[in-house]
Amino acid sequence: MKQVLQRLEANLDPAHPTGVTVLAYGEISAALLVPGLDGKVAKRMSGFADAAMAQDYCTLVDEYIATVRDAGIRVVETQVVMIERGDRPPVVYLVQPLLKDLGNQLLHSAADPDLAAAVGVVMDRVWTLHQDTPETAIDAQLSNWSFTVADDPVLLDVGTPFVRSGSGYRFDQEILLSAIPPGLRAYYRRKGDVATYMDDYFSPRLVAVDLLGNFIKEGATRRLPEGIVAANEWLESHDLEPIARAEVDETTSRMPRRSSCSSGCGDSTVRRADCCVGSTTSSCLGGCRGKALANPAVASISVGLWSDLVGG
Ligand SMILES: Nc1ncnc2c1ncn2[C@@H]1O[C@H](COP(=O)(O)OP(=O)(O)O)[C@@H](O)[C@H]1O
Ligand SMILES: [Mg+2]
How do the pLDDT tens digits run along the chain, 312 residues long? Answer: 999 999 999 888 777 778 889 898 776 788 999 999 999 999 998 889 899 999 999 999 999 999 999 999 999 999 999 999 988 999 999 999 999 999 999 999 999 999 999 999 999 999 999 999 999 999 999 999 999 999 999 999 999 899 988 767 777 766 666 645 556 556 566 556 666 777 889 999 999 999 999 999 899 999 999 999 999 999 999 999 999 999 999 988 765 433 333 333 333 222 233 333 332 233 334 333 222 333 333 333 222 222 222 222
- The alpha helices in 238-302, defined as continuous H runs, are 245-253, 296-301
From 22, 79, 144, 272, give the residue whose CB has the most ligand 1 atoms within 8 Å, as the site to mutate: 144
Nearest to 30 by CA among 82, 104, 91: 91
Nearest residue to 261 via CA among 298, 297, 286: 286
To test the pocket of ligand 1, the residue of 22, 45, 96, 156 to mutate (highest count of ligand atoms within 8 Å of its CB) is: 156
Ligand nearest to the CA of 103: 1
Helix residue ranges per DSSP H, 133-181: 173-177
The SS3 assignment for 192 reads coil
User: For residue 265, what pLDDT is reported?
Assistant: 36
Residue 83's Cβ-count burial label (10 Å; 0-12, 13-18, 19+) is middle
Q: Report residues whose beta carbon is within 6 angstroms of any ligand 1 atom.
A: 23-24, 26-29, 31, 41, 43, 76, 96, 98-99, 102, 143-144, 156-157, 159-160
**Enclosing domain of residue 304:** 2-310
pLDDT at residue number 208: 97
* pLDDT (0 to 100) of residue 288: 34
pLDDT of residue 110: 96
Q: Total structural domains in the chain?
A: 1
Taking CA 26 as the corner, what is the angle to CA 174 and CA 132, rounded to the nearest 5 degrees?
Answer: 75
Residue 156: CATH number of its domain: 1.10.510
Contact 47, 176 (CB under 8 A): yes
